[in-house]
Amino acid sequence: MAKQTRKTPAKSPSKATSTTKKAPSRSRAKKVVPEGTFPTSLELNVTFDTYPAGKFTHKDLGLSIDDVLSMYRNMLLQRRFEERAAQMYGKQKIAGFLHLYIGQEAISTGTSTAIKIGLDSIITAYRDHGHGLALGMTANECMAEMFGKVGGCSRGKGGSMHFFSKEKGLFGGHGIVGSHVPVGVGIAFAHKYKEDGGVSIAFYGDGAAGQGSVHEAANLASLYELPSILVVENNHYAMGTAVHRAFAETEFTHHAVGYKMKAALVDGMDVFSVCKAMQDHVALARENKPSMLEIRTYRYRGHSMSDPQKYRTKEELESKKNEDPIIRLKAYILEHKMTSVKALDAIDEDVKDEVLASVEFAENSPVPDLSEIYEHIYDESDYPYLA
Amino acid sequence: MAVLQYREALRAAMTEEMERDSSVFLMGEEVAEYNGAYKVSEGMLEKFGPKRIIDTPISESGFCGLGVGAAMAGLRPIIEFMTFNFSFVAIDQLINNAAKIRYMSGGQFNIPIVFRGANGAAGQLAATHNTSTESIYATIPGLKVIAPSNPDDAKGLLKSAIRDNNPVIFLESEVMFGWKGEVSDAVDYLIPIGKARIAREGTDVTIVAHSKSHYIAMEVADQLALEGYSAEVIDPRTIRPFDIDTVIESIKKTNRCVIIDESNPFASISSEITYQIQERAFDYLDAPVLRITSKDVPAPYAKNLIEYYMPQAKDAYDACKRVMYVK
């Protein structure tokens, strides 16, 4: 595995008395004021694993050909679903904010392939369609949610940003940047408390990495030794602000060092790299060893539907399209002769049909009855609202 | 009946509920090894161990969010704020996550969590450590807000709050932690959320006051009684849902109402109660509803100024005389 090494130079010339930061100590024994002399210098020597694109084969991941084809279909479903959603937004069938995940599908699919769906937990921000579909939520319930219909996964109460599925372990779909990351750590806390063997994975964007709540969450996950993975989906732009304009430290793996967490860098344009990283870090989490992943990805569409995208060049966008995770996987499938072009075309047709059917389902699903406005706020059905 | 301090009643409620339900845990700053900043959780670490009595770093946003996630995943967290002044650095977790996730998820996820701790003014602590947060949290659909004035209510309502399937903001008081009162010995002593207590029956004026202000109301009622006037004192106990029915029934009898509330006045609980009274009991009122609150300023430090800032018994007494049209 490729290694990335970072060394912070010792501030003092007196190397002989410098101390080196060791692997994180997990001891929670009471410590009083440290013994001995005050260090004259401190050295930081940390190595991060990386998961480059093209490094792993499906066999390395223990995946069958059927698994790979299923991943291909899953990524394609997310892509076609969102292309159709964008069209429906144009037709004003979908309102509010619509943030597309197009380009980032290897992350959701790579993750859902590596976890135990139903046991493990996922929480993410508002760019949530991909994660929902990857976990097995139906295109029907997802499209209907965006149409504001009762057939939606959240009965039309949440919309595009608030997909939830208790059954599939999707804990949302959250709209306040960074706010859901401590919640994800709390879900990890519950997994450990209940000793159910599950892990919790919290996804957030590069923009969220500047929020205090994310850093508090990272500290708590490590301090309490929780089965938690914090994942930065670095798509390089927080809305229109490029990472280097927002962060003094643009290597997000380095953020983990302050919290004594293992961290790794992953190429998010290769679904196998994501899947392998997740397999490794889920295994760590199951031993209550939390970690952080930076997954570098790229969103091909704007931040939301109203984004003129003046912060990046067309050339940059086009160059990134050469790295398209779906095209990459398709090439891999054909290169390894897993199936024929014809069979892949059939998958494409099947996915298109599923998405079209979801539009029809959403159209036909009724809007919520006005009485629904007072439902699902409190557990009680007779809560006395002002009316 | 046992005589307990307010803090002991809270501890008894938490202890009983933790013995009853293994999914309940207590988390907050200094709750475990320090035995609680105000000794509410004294001895609980020893009794329940570090898995269930958990010290946190000073990271309100982090541990409140952790509580919300744990609640979504089936646990019943009690999150202690050393005081509710510090809840403001975590207000996003309370308002956007605890209160709204159930609704946004179409009812898929309950958030059975209690955020509890000291609320309101507590002397010469200056502006940032003296805030009454009732109206801030009570305005949010999805939250319940409770503010008990005595050990008995504190125990019965905290037990109900821990069993409630919704997020509950449970407002205590630094000043009252040491105050003593009789507490019911009943097994499983539960006071229903949303029910006011008529602390003193009367016929001439209704005084509505919760938490510490309740004691001003009782003092004023005593004073009025010496002069032959009969005040009815209502302690709402729960702020949201508010038991307006009990207040309205009282006003139908007294035709007058004075509200004492140590919150800052603008858009406060007293504003809301007053609105509801005029809507439901306009024809029964013989005088305008008056309120006595803290001053409409940040809490000052100087002893004379903070004393002046707080709602005054003399002002409440004068207000009662005014609505009764007597001198």
- In chain A, the residue whose alpha carbon lies closest to the alpha carbon of B67 is A186
Least confident stretch, A6-10, A335-339, B14-18, B294-298: A6-10
Which of the four CATH numbers 3.30.390.50, 3.40.50.970, 1.10.10.10, 3.40.50.300 does domain A54-364 have?
3.40.50.970
Band the pLDDT of A322: cuts 50, 70, 90.
confident
pLDDT of residue A32: 67
pLDDT of residue A24: 45
State mean pLDDT over B166-181: 98
Indicate if B129 belongs to the active site: yes
Sign of CA dihedral B85, B86, B87, B90: positive
- CATH 3.40.50.970 positions along chain B are 2-183
User: Which B residues, 152 through 211, put their C-beta within 8 Å of a C-beta on chain A?
Assistant: 164-166, 194
Sign of CA dihedral A135, A139, A145, A149: negative
**At residue B265, what is the residue type?**
P
Strands B197-200 and B231-235 turn out to be antiparallel
- Shortest distance between the Cα of B21 and any Cα of chain A, in A, equals 13
Chain A residue numbers with beta carbons less than 8 Å from the beta carbon of B107 are: 155, 375-376
Residue-wise pLDDT for A356-385, tens only, equals 999 999 999 999 999 999 999 999 999 999
Indicate if B210 belongs to the active site: no
Residue-wise pLDDT for A53-74, tens only, equals 999 999 999 999 999 999 999 9
Question: pLDDT at residue A3 above 60?
Answer: no
Phi, psi of B144 (to 5 degrees): -110, 150
Residue-averaged pLDDT of chain B: 98
Band the pLDDT of A22: cuts 50, 70, 90.
very low
pLDDT of residue A320: 86
Q: Which of A156, A190, A383 sits opposite B241 (nearest CB)?
A: A383
Question: pLDDT at residue B188 above 60?
Answer: yes
pTM of the model: 0.94
Q: Which residue has the tokens 């060893």?
A: A289
Spatial neighbors of A177 by CB under 8 A, at least 6 apart, are A125, A204, A205, A207, A208, A211, A238
Q: Which of A166, A219, A376 sits opposite B59 (nearest CB)?
A: A219
Residue-wise pLDDT for A137-172, tens only, equals 999 999 999 999 999 999 999 999 999 999 999 999
pLDDT of residue A373: 96
Question: pLDDT at residue A26 above 50?
Answer: no
State mean pLDDT over B247-257: 98
Band the pLDDT of A228: cuts 50, 70, 90.
very high
Chain B residue numbers with beta carbons less than 8 Å from the beta carbon of A379 are: 102, 110, 164-166
pLDDT of residue A28: 53
Band the pLDDT of A21: cuts 50, 70, 90.
very low
Confirm or reject contact between A260 and chain B (CB < 8 A): no
Band the pLDDT of A305: cuts 50, 70, 90.
confident
Question: pLDDT at residue A18 above 90?
Answer: no
Q: Is B194:B138 a contact under the CB 8 Å cutoff?
A: no
pLDDT of residue A78: 98
State mean pLDDT over B196-214: 98
Band the pLDDT of A300: cuts 50, 70, 90.
confident
Least confident stretch, A9-13, B167-171, B221-225: A9-13
pLDDT of residue A161: 97
Least confident stretch, A129-138, A182-191, A308-317: A308-317
| Ramachandran sector of residue A300 (left: φ over 0; alpha: ψ -120 to 50; beta: rest) | alpha
Tokens of B80: 């202690």
CB contact under 8 A, A171 and B107: no
pLDDT of residue B126: 95
Chain B residue numbers with beta carbons less than 8 Å from the beta carbon of A181 are: 65
Confirm or reject contact between B278 and chain A (CB < 8 A): no
Residue-averaged pLDDT of chain A: 92
- The count of CB pairs under 8 A between chains A and B is 156
Question: pLDDT at residue A17 above 60?
Answer: no
Q: Which of A158, A224, A379 sits opposite B166 (nearest CB)?
A: A379
What are the CA-CA distances from residue B208 to residues A369, B6, B198, B272 (Å)?
A: 38, 21, 9, 12
State mean pLDDT over B9-29: 98
- In chain A, the residue whose alpha carbon lies closest to the alpha carbon of B98 is A183
Chain B residue numbers with beta carbons less than 8 Å from the beta carbon of A164 are: 101, 104-106, 108-109
d(CA B318, CA B205): 12
Closest C-alpha among A352, A378, A205 to residue B102: A378
State mean pLDDT over B89-118: 98
- Mutation target for B interface from A167, A215, A216: give the one with most B CBs within 10 A: A216
- Mutation target for B interface from A376, A381, A385: give the one with most B CBs within 10 A: A376
Question: pLDDT at residue A10 above 70?
Answer: no
State mean pLDDT over B39-62: 98
Closest C-alpha among A294, A260, A357 to residue A21: A260
Which of the four CATH numbers 3.30.70.20, 3.40.50.920, 3.40.630.30, 2.40.10.10 does domain B197-321 have?
3.40.50.920
State mean pLDDT over B76-88: 98
Band the pLDDT of A247: cuts 50, 70, 90.
very high
pLDDT of residue A321: 85
d(CA A278, CA A158): 28
Buried b (16+ CB within 10 A) or exposed e, A349-362: eebeebbeebbebb
Q: What percent of chain A has a predicted confidence (pLDDT) above 70?
A: 91
Confirm or reject contact between A27 and chain B (CB < 8 A): no
Q: Which of A164, A182, A184 sits opposite B93 (nearest CB)?
A: A182
The distance in angstroms from the start CA to the end CA of chain A is 62
CATH dotted code for B2-183? 3.40.50.970
CB contact under 8 A, B105 and A158: yes
d(CA A113, CA A276): 10
- In chain B, the residue whose alpha carbon lies closest to the alpha carbon of A382 is B241
Closest C-alpha among B64, B9, B76, B7 to residue B35: B7
Q: Which of A184, A216, A378 sits opposite B69 (nearest CB)?
A: A184
Residue-wise pLDDT for B296-311, tens only, equals 999 999 999 999 999 9
Question: pLDDT at residue B139 above 50?
Answer: yes
- Shortest distance between the Cα of A362 and any Cα of chain B, in A, equals 16
Sorted by where each begins, the domain ranges of chain A are 54-364
Closest C-alpha among B125, B172, B176, B133 to residue B299: B125
Question: pLDDT at residue A272 above 60?
Answer: yes
Q: Is A43:A66 a contact under the CB 8 Å cutoff?
A: no
User: Which A residues, 126 through 155, put their C-beta within 8 Å of a C-beta on chain B?
Assistant: 152-155
Q: What percent of chain B has a predicted confidence (pLDDT) above 90?
A: 99
